[in-house]
Amino acid sequence: MWEGIESGLATAFTASNLAVVVIGCFAGTIIGMLPGLGPISAIALMIPITYGLDPAAAMILMAGVYYGAIFGGSTSSILINAPGVAGTVATTFDGYPLARRGQAGKALAIAAYASFTGGTVAALLLIFAAPALASVSLSFQSADYFALMFLGLIAVCAFAGKGYVLKSLLMTVFGLMLATVGTDPTAGVPRFTFGQIDLIDGISFLLLAMACFAISEALMTILKDEDSAQMAASAAKGTMGSLLLKKREVKEIAPAVGRSSVLGFFVGVLPGAGGTIASFLAWGMEKGLARGRDREAFGKGSLRGLAAPETANNAASTGSFVPLLTLGIPGSGTTAVMLGALLSFGIQPGPRLYIEEPAVFWSVIISMYVGNIVLLILNLPLIPYIARLLAVRKEILVPMILFFSLIGVYLVSFNVFDLWLMVLVGVVAIGLRLLDLPLAPMILGFILGDILEDNLRRALIISNGSPDFLWARPSTLFIMAIAALIALVPLLGRWRTGRTVQAGEGG
């Protein structure tokens, strides 16, 4: 372990990789602030750039963009009540009321300190949790990997939120279907290519990610009536207030930051949970623990109500790297995109990554702590100026996104067919979004489809076609049992809601 950490330190602290961290954090912060452009879009836009880097530098860049975007999303949430990313929705509950009271500077400072603390605590936990999980999973076989992939897909659906479970399941299956397009890895015959030779190698992950997130986000911006530029400009010109925190305020938020750091990390570790769930859980937990006037202040400008979700979503972002790096299961939609990028480099995330690619494994973890320091240094002095960047009009933003998306895909394949397919997928993605169908489960299903199919076939060969491989090994049975329990979570929630309604009617 310590040899790996030394290797990671040597890799992360090279001049080029430190520059990559700074660039990634800055770019992620800017993209994350723009309403509608979240970390998935930011990562998708960065993928073409990473092809010119070595795997360690590429992962460091994408990790920097990831937690930079999470941090940047809080700026638009606080200033104009427009969450840049889903994980900062809970930030608007108390951040925006603080800004309207003339305390925008203090709110942004609390967001910066809370994000730094949450990311730091999670990075320290990651150092010890990741190797332990990797060492346990070294004994995994094909059946165990299939069960893990199945668990990841089930978790994405189960934790999707009220009203989205079936939609997430539908989109996951759609993603698995898209993964079957191309040449059958066993039989070597084309599948679902419709006679198009350009589909022999399957659908490009980069094409799908850019079309579903970058292009669809840009076009959805055109379809939306609201334009946040005017609000952002007025917010930027308004009184920011002091950035300093009083000793009493520090004491007030410190316990909330500590609790939310741990909660956010462990929620982030759960495949499919992510920063959005972590931030809402942290806000709800702090509101439940508050008493009297403190509780009444939640939703009206509570410092604890702002610090808790900001801490939790950054800790969850770091925690989501545990299943990605050690098991090859994305902990969120963004890490699903990063998994695809890793696979394109010929690196298979999982238990062997800890041994075979220690420089990549540890440099990413160490760069997270460095990135948190960079974010703090970058954002505190630049808060008044960063706020003005929210005023970028969509007439400028949309053409830039479309240009870089199309050029990025074309420079990888030099195939005009990919551009037409990308436009088609982008239009379909807009239709899916208008129907309120989530795209992240589809991307996750597409990414895990090949791995799931490969391990399922191996497991069936070993078991002579019998399904008893699902319970033949204790580890496989344990994972499948967890998947079954997670699948019951939505049903349990509906049952409890029904009991509550019946109790209310009875009263």
User: Could you give the 3-state DSSP secondary structure of residue 166?
Assistant: helix
Give the DSSP letter string of 285-299.
Answer: HHHHH--THHHHTTT
What CA–CA distance (Å, rounded) separates 153 from 272?
8
Residue at token pair 């801490």: 311
Question: Is 507 within a domain?
Answer: no
> Whose structure tokens read 């309120």?
436
What is residue 498's predicted lDDT score, i.e. its pLDDT?
A: 64
Distance CA 382, CA 115 (A): 16
Query: Residues 443, 336: contact at Cβ < 8 Å?
Result: yes
Contact present, 329 and 323 (Cβ < 8 Å): yes
Phi first, then psi, for residue 183 (nearest 5°) are -90, 130
Where helices occur in 240-357 by DSSP H, the ranges are 247-269, 274-289, 293-296, 303-319, 321-327, 333-344, 353-356
What's residue 231's pLDDT?
Answer: 44
**What is the mean pLDDT, run by run of 10 residues, along the chain of 507 residues?**
69 81 83 66 75 79 80 73 65 80 80 85 78 63 80 72 78 89 82 85 78 77 58 48 74 88 80 66 79 78 86 82 73 71 74 69 76 77 62 70 76 81 90 84 79 84 82 84 81 66 58
DSSP 181-216: -EE-TTT--EES-TT-GGGTT---HHHHHIIIIIIH
Q: Are 27 and 68 contacting, i.e. CB atoms less than 8 angstroms apart?
A: yes
> CA angle, corner 335, sides to 333 and 341, nearest 5?
115
**DSSP 8-state class, residue 14:** S
Phi, psi (rounded to 5 degrees) for 232: -65, -40
330 occurs within a structural domain: yes
Cα 279 to Cα 434: distance, rounded to the nearest angstrom:
25
Query: Taking Cα atoms as reference points, which of 249, 246, 322, 319 lies closest to residue 282?
Result: 319
pLDDT at 49: 77
Residues of the domain holding 349:
2-500
Q: CA-based Rg of the chain, rounded to a whole angstrom?
A: 22
Please check whether residue 68 is in contact with residue 29, taking contact to mean a CB–CB distance below 8 angstroms. yes
* C-alpha dihedral, 336 to 339 to 340 to 343, nearest 10°: -160
8 Å CB contact between 451 and 328: yes
**SS3 call for 158:** helix
- Look-up of token digits 């007030």: 252
From CA 368, how far away is CA 374, in angstroms rounded?
10
Residues listed for the chain: 507
Give the tokens for residue 276.
Answer: 């959005």
CB 88, CB 234: distance < 8 Å: no
Q: Is residue 505 a part of any domain in this protein?
A: no
Contacts of residue 245, Cβ cutoff 8 Å, sequence gap at least 6:
106, 109, 110, 113
pLDDT score at 228: 47
Residue 260 burial by CB count (10 A; 0-12/13-18/19+): exposed, middle or buried? buried
pLDDT value of residue 303: 86
pLDDT for position 144: 79
User: Which two structure tokens, joined as six digits, stand for 111?
Assistant: 């967001």
- Whether residue 418 is contained in a domain is answered as yes
Asked whether residue 435 is domain-assigned, the answer is yes
Which tokens sit at 200? 């022999």
pLDDT of residue 85: 62
CB 354 within 8 A of CB 174: no
Whether 256 is in a domain gets the answer yes
User: Does some domain include residue 506?
Assistant: no
Phi, psi of 482 (to 5 degrees): -65, -40
Query: Tell me, what amino acid is at 328?
Result: G
Question: Considering its fold, how many domains does the chain have in total?
Answer: 1
